[in-house]
Chains A and B, each alone.
Chain A
Amino acid sequence: MLDMAVKAAVTLADPLRLGFLGLGVIIGLVLGVIPGLGGLVGLSLLLPFTFSMDPYTALAFLMGLSAVSATSDTIPAVLFGVPGTVASAATILDGFPMARKGEAGRAFGAAFTASVMGGLFGAVLLGVSIPVLRPIMLAIASPELLAICLFGLSLAAVLAGGSPLKGMIAVCLGLIIAATGEDTAGELRWSFDSLYLYDGFPIVPIALGLFAIPEIADMVIQRSAIQQTGDVATVTRRSQWQGVKDVFKNWFLVIRCSSIGAGLGAVPGIGAPILDWVAYGHAARTEKGAADTFGKGDVRGVIASESSNNAKEGGSLVPTIAFGVPGTASMALILGAFVIHGLVPGPDMLSKNLDVTYTLVWSIAIANVLGAGICFMFANQFAKVAVIRIGILAPVILAVVYLGAFQGKHAWGDIYTLLAFGFIGFSMKRLRWPRPPLILGFVLGELIERYMFISAEVYGWSWLTRPITMIIIAITLFGLFRPILRYYFSKERRGKPRVPFKLTFQAAKLNTDLLLTIGLMVLFIAAVSATTEWEEFRSQIMPQSIGTAGIVFAILLALVHVFVSPAYIAAIKGKSPRDRIDYGDGQEEKAEDGQHFDLTTDFGDLSVNEIRLRAFSYFAWCVGFFAGAMVFGLLPTMFVFIVAYIRLHGKESWAMAFAVAVPLWLLTYILFHQVLHVPWPQSLLGDTFGILRTFPNFNFF
């Protein structure tokens, strides 16, 4: 085995192969920075170019590309609060507040170091576990996968922080959204006769909507640059070094989160959108003092998320190599490359073609080191963005987010989804509803339903008695109940004065928060009532039970909200009544609960009416962009939008507007139109004048 590892290293040391690996890394980094694009896009684009390479070169090139997009996706996550790929959504929670505090350099240092550590950990784990790969994978059947998914879902309870009911409602919402589209019984659930929803919602516009749109909104409302405090030169070598040291200080956290990343990466279907949240949830549950600092710029949050998402690459190779079952969507394309080069995944990869397998291991390792190194070098350039005026920056980020969301399914539906979830995300953020549980529910919903039916049909109730399943379920239950038990047996509780439970009508609480609760309740009721038209029990059971749970939670929340005194709630959460801050009109309930694993924005002394006015104007610009795109095409409208926004809303000069819009538009045009050949959505203009679509270089109407 060792000789094979050495042989693979020698094979890979060929300058041409290393050159292609390096090229792959650079492409992967660039794609990772741009929201919506990622390794997957690069792989499908470049696959044909590997036809003429030898298998080692081809796989080194593709692995290099795929392994590093999770390194550079940190950059927009930290700087703008916009995830570069779905794998870095959890990085935002602490990375972005760090940037706002002027600690972008430290966040980058920690993120890149954690990335490279995670990546190496994944590669090493894959390398040493090769002899036992197949037996392990054979033991992980549908019941075990179901248990793993349930474990992941249980972390929603942690990520809900101090708002368990809101968290539960968010999970239910995520699960309901996940059930949209054709199910395994052939039922089209909640698809409203639309082909777009035929196979469900894509994750990219949802993630960008939930996290990016609200972040930009808040900056626009505040009218501030990203960085609010600290010196202008944010990213110095010293600040990056500080982040590096942070990682080594938290080495045990890195190991735990890398294991989570590699382990979950090996579970087909889980992959990138979720494992950063699981790692983040794990860190939030186990790290000292996390309850008070996570979500507010704690470097450990960044480390947890970033070490896990780079470790996944090694993990997701496991089922790919052992069975030909791709662990992630990117792996499915790498599997395609295997086939192109006449390699067959399965037993041969662990015997006859072992050197190829080790080439993959080495490629991941080298790519991670190279990728992090490049990011370190350029981080200070990127970080200068943090001081740009928001009137210039907002339209640019918005335009890129629109383009990114459109990579979901290349349809108008992507933009509808982006805006709908943008509004939901904005409301949730403003009203302190945790958004991470929604994402967890969305990603795991489909898998849980899938594995639940297979387990029930094949094993009956005996699926619960399989040893590995039992262990995972025990860990899940322990994690769920530990905080409750600990609270009841804690000294703190006994020491505190008891607040009497009293039901009184709280008139001050008839506010927008209540409105959102009721709105979601109506949504759940509508969703459940639609299920009655479906024919098969198996199509109905999951949506009905989840929907009903959602209704119950919403009613409960509404009742607690309106009738239970805030003092009592605060006492339940372990706070003394004095910690509570006045509600005003319900917008400013800041310190009601300390634990909130999501971003919050402090608007200072802006009046509520002013905030609403600015939010309205922001969303009007968003919708205006969309409307323009429907009429004139996405790409042409993007140019007009950027110029108009910078001039009219940002109140900058015409020269500035064009100086930003022209190069950005050209770059977009070259990347998306000429290189990626994105099939643009069809505008009214193009529909009316068909001739516009006949010139390949200008076929974007």
Chain B
Amino acid sequence: MKMRTSLSILALGVAATFSLDAPAAAQGFYAGKQITLVVGASNRGTYAGYSRVLAIHMSKHIPGNPKIILSVKGGASGGMVAANFMNNAVPKDGTVMGITQQTIPVSQFLRPGAGRYDATKWGWIGNISPITNMVALWHKSPAQTLEEAKKVEVRVSATGKSSPTYVYPSLMNRFFGTKFKMITGYKGIGGMNQGMLQGETHARGASWLSVVTKAPHFIKEKKLKPIIQDGLKRDPMLPNVPTFLELAKTPTEKGVFELVAIGSTFGRSYFIPQGVPAARLVTLRKAFQATMKDPAFLAQMKKQKNPVNPMTGPELEGLIKRIQATKPDVLKLAQSAMVFKKKKK
């Protein structure tokens, strides 16, 4: 009895192994292959959310239809872990693509030596959408406009000092003279919302998308009012909110804000490591662009309320070049205004 059970399990295992190899045919490199999509963020955020949908639909547009599976490297360190992992450890044959946190390419210049990666050498496949960060005031806040926030202290929900929820309000304090007091320690978007609902804080940062998907009633009931957004141009969802760039007073300030904006423009961008044959990057870019027009993909994204404003690989390369061209004085100012994480000794 025991032997028979073991045998049947064995047979099942062998069958499972080989059935996966079956469709190998002359469909080019990707036929019968499998692509691993490394996600450098928690498995419950929008990085993973976007990637799950992409994985399902992009496969149809790659010749040979390789299966795309997700490998999530989550947690606060996920972005850095995925960047290092993609840069150094994965096979360079185009079977592994990745997405890391949008701040990673800029962070390479703001915190040199912190990571073991070089985003300027990666092959950028494409971007599903820039993700706009903002700072918004709660309807019970003592200040209701940017001008008023310069006069009274407003408590802001934040997660930790290295998070955009802390960096953006502190940028405003530094350059616009607002009196935000950041309360760190809130857990995620939900925790920050709860802090406002309970009257502990009166404002919060993070992406506007996090409001749209997780608390749209805040918008409908006019409870949360965005006063500033980043990005190179205004987000279509926030046509009446000024960008940091628009409010810049000096060229150096403008340079700093541009760096910030480029970070969020990277949004949900996918890449392959350096050293992958160029033809495969072309294949993946083509498939990515086709997916961005795929009605099934768009329908699923719409249902999830995730915006799709795609950018091509070459456009992302252009952004990288802009970061590289940042003047030293701008970089120095940006470092002093944005880097709160202690340098390792």
A323 interface residue, CB < 8 Å from B?
yes
B326 interface residue, CB < 8 Å from A?
no
A-contact 0/1 string along B16-54, CB 8 Å cutoff: 110011000000000001101010001110001100110
A604 interface residue, CB < 8 Å from B?
no
By a CB distance below 8 angstroms, the chain A residues around B145 are: none
Binds B, one of A84-92, A184-192, A238-246, A272-280: A184-192
A-contact 0/1 string along B207-244, CB 8 Å cutoff: 00000011111000000000000000000000000000
Is A693 a contact partner of B73 (Cβ separation < 8 A)? Answer: no
- The distance in angstroms between the C-alpha atoms of A662 and B95, with both chains bound, is 29
B-contact 0/1 string along A336-380, CB 8 Å cutoff: 100111101111100000000000000000000000000000000
- The distance in angstroms between the C-alpha atoms of A662 and B3, with both chains bound, is 12
A-contact 0/1 string along B89-129, CB 8 Å cutoff: 11101010000000000000000000000000000000000
By a CB distance below 8 angstroms, the chain A residues around B93 are: 694
By a CB distance below 8 angstroms, the chain A residues around B215 are: 324, 344, 346
A-contact 0/1 string along B55-98, CB 8 Å cutoff: 11000000000000111110111001100100001110101000
- The distance in angstroms between the C-alpha atoms of A269 and B194, with both chains bound, is 14
Given A182-B162, A268-B190, A679-B71, answer yes or no on A669-B183 (Cβ-Cβ < 8 Å): no
By a CB distance below 8 angstroms, the chain A residues around B309 are: none
By a CB distance below 8 angstroms, the chain A residues around B332 are: none
Binds A, one of B252-260, B265-273, B337-345: B337-345
A130 interface residue, CB < 8 Å from B?
no
Is B186 a contact partner of A666 (Cβ separation < 8 A)? Answer: no
B-contact 0/1 string along A666-692, CB 8 Å cutoff: 110110001001010010000000100
CB distance from B167 to the nearest CB of A (A): 10
By a CB distance below 8 angstroms, the chain B residues around A409 are: 75
Is A323 a contact partner of B190 (Cβ separation < 8 A)? Answer: yes
Q: Which of B6, B55, B75, B188 contacts A659 (CB 8 A)?
A: B6
CB distance from A668 to the nearest CB of B (A): 10
- The distance in angstroms between the C-alpha atoms of A542 and B50, with both chains bound, is 38
Binds A, one of B130-138, B286-294, B299-307, B312-320: B299-307
By a CB distance below 8 angstroms, the chain B residues around A329 are: 44
By a CB distance below 8 angstroms, the chain B residues around A183 are: 160
B161 interface residue, CB < 8 Å from A?
yes
- The distance in angstroms between the C-alpha atoms of A482 and B71, with both chains bound, is 51
Is B161 a contact partner of A186 (Cβ separation < 8 A)? Answer: yes
Q: Which of A51, A142, A663 contacts B9 (CB 8 A)?
A: A663
Binds A, one of B171-179, B197-205, B277-285: B197-205
By a CB distance below 8 angstroms, the chain B residues around A340 are: 49, 303-304
B13 interface residue, CB < 8 Å from A?
yes
Given A141-B198, A341-B303, answer yes or no on A268-B187 (Cβ-Cβ < 8 Å): yes
CB distance from A56 to the nearest CB of B (A): 15
By a CB distance below 8 angstroms, the chain B residues around A663 are: 5-6, 9-10
Of chain A, the residue at the smallest CB distance from B3 is A659
Q: Which of A51, A450, A454 contacts B300 (CB 8 A)?
A: A51
Is A670 a contact partner of B16 (Cβ separation < 8 A)? Answer: yes
- The distance in angstroms between the C-alpha atoms of A679 and B53, with both chains bound, is 20
Is B72 a contact partner of A666 (Cβ separation < 8 A)? Answer: no
A576 interface residue, CB < 8 Å from B?
no
A697 interface residue, CB < 8 Å from B?
yes
By a CB distance below 8 angstroms, the chain A residues around B191 are: 268, 325
- The distance in angstroms between the C-alpha atoms of A648 and B334, with both chains bound, is 62
Is A186 a contact partner of B160 (Cβ separation < 8 A)? Answer: yes
Is A458 a contact partner of B201 (Cβ separation < 8 A)? Answer: yes
CB distance from A128 to the nearest CB of B (A): 23
Number of interface residues of A (CB under 8 A): 67
Given A184-B160, A339-B49, answer yes or no on A199-B75 (Cβ-Cβ < 8 Å): yes
- The distance in angstroms between the C-alpha atoms of A237 and B103, with both chains bound, is 59
A-contact 0/1 string along B142-168, CB 8 Å cutoff: 000000000000010001111000000
By a CB distance below 8 angstroms, the chain B residues around A186 are: 160-162, 340-342
Is A339 a contact partner of B305 (Cβ separation < 8 A)? Answer: yes
By a CB distance below 8 angstroms, the chain B residues around A184 are: 159-161, 184-185
Q: Which of B76, B213, B305 contacts A199 (CB 8 A)?
A: B76
B274 interface residue, CB < 8 Å from A?
no
Is B56 a contact partner of A48 (Cβ separation < 8 A)? Answer: yes
Within 8 A of B (CB), among A297-351: 319, 323-326, 329, 332-333, 335-336, 339-342, 344-348
By a CB distance below 8 angstroms, the chain B residues around A342 are: 303-305
CB distance from A484 to the nearest CB of B (A): 33
B193 interface residue, CB < 8 Å from A?
yes
Number of interface residues of B (CB under 8 A): 79
- The distance in angstroms between the C-alpha atoms of A670 and B193, with both chains bound, is 42
Is A339 a contact partner of B213 (Cβ separation < 8 A)? Answer: yes
A138 interface residue, CB < 8 Å from B?
yes
By a CB distance below 8 angstroms, the chain A residues around B77 are: 182, 195, 198-199
By a CB distance below 8 angstroms, the chain A residues around B342 are: 186-188, 534-535
B-contact 0/1 string along A167-202, CB 8 Å cutoff: 000000000000000111111100001010011000
By a CB distance below 8 angstroms, the chain A residues around B80 are: 195, 198
- The distance in angstroms between the C-alpha atoms of A341 and B49, with both chains bound, is 12
Most buried by A among B38, B71, B190: B190
Of chain A, the residue at the smallest CB distance from B158 is A184
By a CB distance below 8 angstroms, the chain A residues around B345 are: 533
Of chain A, the residue at the smallest CB distance from B345 is A533
Is A44 a contact partner of B6 (Cβ separation < 8 A)? Answer: no
By a CB distance below 8 angstroms, the chain B residues around A44 are: 43, 48, 72
CB distance from A37 to the nearest CB of B (A): 14
- The distance in angstroms between the C-alpha atoms of A679 and B91, with both chains bound, is 13
Is A674 a contact partner of B198 (Cβ separation < 8 A)? Answer: no
Is B183 a contact partner of A458 (Cβ separation < 8 A)? Answer: yes
A453 interface residue, CB < 8 Å from B?
yes
Is B197 a contact partner of A138 (Cβ separation < 8 A)? Answer: yes
A696 interface residue, CB < 8 Å from B?
yes
A621 interface residue, CB < 8 Å from B?
no
Is A666 a contact partner of B160 (Cβ separation < 8 A)? Answer: no
By a CB distance below 8 angstroms, the chain B residues around A344 are: 214-217
A451 interface residue, CB < 8 Å from B?
yes
- The distance in angstroms between the C-alpha atoms of A44 and B39, with both chains bound, is 13
By a CB distance below 8 angstroms, the chain A residues around B198 are: 138, 141-142
By a CB distance below 8 angstroms, the chain A residues around B16 are: 670, 674
Within 8 A of B (CB), among A451-508: 451, 453-454, 457-458
A101 interface residue, CB < 8 Å from B?
no
Is A333 a contact partner of B43 (Cβ separation < 8 A)? Answer: yes
Of chain A, the residue at the smallest CB distance from B56 is A48
- The distance in angstroms between the C-alpha atoms of A534 and B161, with both chains bound, is 15
Most buried by A among B44, B69, B90: B44
A573 interface residue, CB < 8 Å from B?
no
- The distance in angstroms between the C-alpha atoms of A268 and B194, with both chains bound, is 11
- The distance in angstroms between the C-alpha atoms of A419 and B3, with both chains bound, is 34
By a CB distance below 8 angstroms, the chain A residues around B73 are: 410, 679
Is A51 a contact partner of B56 (Cβ separation < 8 A)? Answer: yes
By a CB distance below 8 angstroms, the chain A residues around B162 are: 182, 186
Is B9 a contact partner of A667 (Cβ separation < 8 A)? Answer: yes
CB distance from B152 to the nearest CB of A (A): 16
By a CB distance below 8 angstroms, the chain B residues around A518 are: none
Is A454 a contact partner of B71 (Cβ separation < 8 A)? Answer: no
By a CB distance below 8 angstroms, the chain A residues around B340 are: 185-186
What are 12 contact pairs spanning A and B, CB under 8 A? A44-B48, A47-B52, A48-B55, A184-B160, A185-B184, A185-B340, A188-B341, A323-B190, A323-B193, A457-B181, A667-B13, A696-B20
What 3 A-B pairs are tightest by C-beta distance, nearest first? A325-B190, A198-B77, A666-B13
Known contacts A184-B160, A682-B89, A693-B90; 14 further A-B pairs (Cβ under 8 A): A51-B53, A182-B77, A184-B184, A186-B342, A198-B81, A325-B193, A339-B304, A347-B217, A662-B10, A669-B17, A674-B16, A679-B36, A679-B38, A697-B21
Residue positions of A touching B, CB distance < 8 A: 44, 47-48, 51, 138, 141-142, 182-188, 193, 195, 198-199, 268-269, 319, 323-326, 329, 332-333, 335-336, 339-342, 344-348, 409-410, 449-451, 453-454, 457-458, 533-535, 659, 662-663, 666-667, 669-670, 674, 677, 679, 682, 690, 693-694, 696-697
